[in-house]
Amino acid sequence: MKIRVLLLSAVSASAMIPQFAHAEDATREGEAPIVVTATALNQTASETATPVITLTQDDLVHRRQATLGDTLAGLPGVNSDNFGGGASRPVVRGQTSPRVQALSDGSNIQDAAAISPDHAITTEPLLLRGIEVLRGPSALLFGGSAIGGAINLLDDKVPTTMPENGLTGVAEGRIGTGDSERSLVGGLTAGVGPLAFHVEGVHRSSDDYRVPNSFGERHVDGSYNETSTFSAGASWVGSQGYLGVAYTRQNSEYGLPGHSHDYESCHPHGSSLHCGSHSHDDGDHDHDHDHEHEHDEIPFVKLRSDRFDIRGEYRDVLPGIERARLRLSFTDYVHDEIEHDEVATTFKNTAHDLRLEIAHKPIAGLRGVIGFQHSGSDFSAIGTEAFLPESETSNTAVFLMETLQAGPVRFELAARQEWQTIETTLDRRVDHRPFSFSGAAVWDIGGDYSLALSLARSQRAPNVQELYARGVHLATNTYELGTATLETETGKSVDLTFRKTAGNTTFTVGAYHQEFDNYIFANTLDQFEDFRLIRYTAADATFTGVDGEIRQQITPDFGVTVFGDYVRAKLKDDLGNLPRIPAARLGARADGQWGPLHGDVEYYRVFEQGDIAEFETRTPGYNMVNATLAWRTDLGPVANAELFVRGTNLTNELAFNHASFIKNASPLRGRNVVFGLRTNF
């Protein structure tokens, strides 16, 4: 308790909380501010009403890992729910899928990641040129699946500009010591007249990753990952915009640590779990299941995703129209969960997403965007773990955002109406109409200081899993029960952000409070050993927290950053804590540049998580030390090369992630050193 009080006091009084260099658009001298493309009006991170992290350039190159969650984990307010080496989803301010939406340049990524943490998000961090993290409710822009935040992934597969000198490219090779990673990356963009063509690809292979000997095993069995991604695209590029198309194929195979068949016979008796014979006479659930603990072959996922993207943006389309932006995607996703060389369960998702935004020119001082979005999904699960019925989900939405500058204060109003329909093979149909609206004010105090206040009422409709799940889900060692009567979830939030964006001292600190009516969560009803009976239940809940950073540029070439975050999530009426909420963090980072050399070293403390839900166990705290060193040289007028080395968990500390479903079976990786060589031309 003392640790939490000290952390909150330090953040509130000194604004000293997390972030890395370049992450929050605290612009250094000579650098152009980074435009956040996920915002409807292409604002910079310092102009947004709620805090946004932008991860680009060297910071992204050095931090990239095999999964999106692992790549972002450690940023202020961002954690992950790691599931070995092949799957890891971002956790933003204590929330993850289905409340944190992953986007591909503003378009939904429609895979199976929202169903379970062992399902990978179908993206390739090594092919991204930038990541935007919208912390806080983003449902006004992207729907109820972003009620807790959004992650926008920026890539080059659809060219938006003509390459300099007609040809540009990138190549990179990486090797890692902690999991024997071998990765090769390549990309090429060529211009022919008004047409730009782009091809890119990655092949990544890694073995089971190592953990400290104190875990009892040298490796986490089933934490290997092998992924190949290829993309080809072309665009027509003109003086007023572009229109292009791209095709992306991803194949992946990765293991499922912690997967056990010891509990296949477990099933519910009311709210109790039965894991054995029916010979007992007392009517209670039987916890005398006499299974044999054998080391079965580790099951694995074999994934294939085919995706087509059509993207376009055109300026000054018609009188009064400043910009029109189109995003259209088609996805054919399938993955098999394979056990003993046989397919046990197959998950399929055939989906599309259409998004159109039209920004109007100023009218009586108002600037704004009106938009339309429609998405559809045909999802099925077939096999021994088909705990979900086949379903078709359709979501249609209209949204509006307007801003008005009144002296030093800029006001924002936004609203979004959705219509969602789910139909299943159970002959059931359910309709929901989530409505979200928000208001915000950003006050330019002067002297590079600003204060932003955002108020929002956001709604999310329940998904198929929360409504109709029923069956054993061995990947997470659960028996899942849906609740068909669940209603729309409503979150009411207040977010206060204080920034200083220029000078030797810069900072961003955010404090937030979010209250939910009918918050839907996986409530554990009973547990036998590591197996749990869960039911998706609705209850009122609150999320309260702080996150941010303060940076001091000591000399032109050397700076220090102090960062941290904290979130407290609990059910109202003293009903307990919400499960799998990340622990508080506090740390510091120093970075510098010495001619062609630049590097950084960071230390942070993750505190013990003792605010646990029923049937959870406390997670001990740990220390983390990471460092990067890079050397860059020019190879010509437009070409350069960089040799870098990044070490993580350099003290080789045994660390467990409280947000993970399988924290005890899959601790964080031990000491790992990645060597990379990258060239741009």
Q: What is the CA radius of gyration of the chain?
A: 24
How many whole angstroms separate alpha carbon 158 and alpha carbon 232? 8
Average pLDDT of the segment spanning 327-345 = 93
How many whole angstroms separate alpha carbon 197 and alpha carbon 232? 8
Please give the C-alpha separations between residue 397 and each of 324, 382, 463, in angstroms, as whole numbers: 17, 31, 16
How many whole angstroms separate alpha carbon 679 and alpha carbon 188? 12
**506-540 burial: b if 16+ Cβ within 10 Å, else e:** bbbbbbbebbbbbbbbbbbbbbbeebbbbbbbbbe
Confidence of residue 6 (pLDDT cuts 50, 70, 90): very low
Tokens of 437: 């609206």
Say what the pLDDT of residue 283 is: 42
Average pLDDT of the segment spanning 551-572 = 96
Higher pLDDT, residue 477 or 464: 464
How many whole angstroms separate alpha carbon 326 and alpha carbon 256? 37
Eight-state DSSP code of residue 358: E
The four Cα atoms 103, 105, 110, 115 give a dihedral, to 10 degrees, of -10
The four Cα atoms 316, 320, 323, 324 give a dihedral, to 10 degrees, of -110
Distance, CA of 199 to chain centre: 25
Confidence of residue 288 (pLDDT cuts 50, 70, 90): very low
597-655 confidence digits (pLDDT tens): 999 999 999 999 999 999 999 999 999 999 999 999 999 888 999 999 999 999 999 99
- The 10 Å Cβ neighbour count of residue 152 is 26
How many whole angstroms separate alpha carbon 110 and alpha carbon 112? 7
How many whole angstroms separate alpha carbon 548 and alpha carbon 422? 39
Q: Which residues pair with 346 in a beta bridge?
A: 336, 382
Task: Return the ∠ at Cα 507 (arms to 145 and 138), rounded to 5°.
Answer: 10
In the chain, % of residues over pLDDT 70? 91
Average pLDDT of the segment spanning 529-542 = 93
Of the listed ranges 61-65, 200-204, 465-469, 598-602, the least confidently predicted one is 61-65
3-state SS, one letter per residue, for 103-142: EECCEECCCCCCCCCCCCCCCCHHHCCEEEEEECCCHHHH
Please give the C-alpha separations between residue 346 and each of 145, 241, 264, 379, 458, in angstroms, as whole numbers: 24, 41, 18, 11, 34
Say what the pLDDT of residue 371 is: 94
Say what the pLDDT of residue 297 is: 79
Distance, CA of 231 to chain centre: 22
Say what the pLDDT of residue 7 is: 36
Predicted TM-score (pTM) of this structure: 0.90
Say what the pLDDT of residue 584 is: 97
In the chain, % of residues over pLDDT 90? 73
How many whole angstroms separate alpha carbon 506 and alpha carbon 54? 16
Q: Is the pLDDT of residue 8 over 90?
A: no
Say what the pLDDT of residue 592 is: 96
Tokens of 283: 């009517």
How many whole angstroms separate alpha carbon 547 and alpha carbon 351? 35
Bin 138: left if φ > 0, else alpha if -120 < ψ < 50, else beta.
Answer: alpha
Tokens of 129: 């040129």
31-87 confidence digits (pLDDT tens): 556 677 777 677 777 778 878 888 888 889 898 999 999 999 989 999 999 999 999
Reduced to 3 states (helix: H, G, I; strand: E, B; else coil), residue 162 is coil
- Ranges of beta strands (E only) in 193-240 are 195-206, 225-238
Q: Exposed (0-12), middle (13-18) or buried (19+): which is 448, by Cβ within 10 Å? A: middle
Tokens of 504: 């030797």
User: Residue length, the chain?
Assistant: 681
Of the listed ranges 204-218, 368-382, 467-481, 602-616, the least confidently predicted one is 467-481
**Cβ partners under 8 Å of residue 632, min gap 6:** 596, 598, 640, 641, 642, 643
Query: Which helix (H) or strand (E) element contains residue 13?
Result: helix 2-14
Q: Is the pLDDT of residue 554 over 60?
A: yes
Query: Which helix (H) or strand (E) element contains residue 485?
Result: none
Nearest to 584 by CA among 543, 551, 545: 545
Contact 489, 518 (CB under 8 A): yes
Contact 337, 382 (CB under 8 A): no
What is the rounded average pLDDT for all residues in the chain?
A: 89
Eight-state DSSP code of residue 578: P
- The 10 Å Cβ neighbour count of residue 278 is 8
Contact 86, 73 (CB under 8 A): no
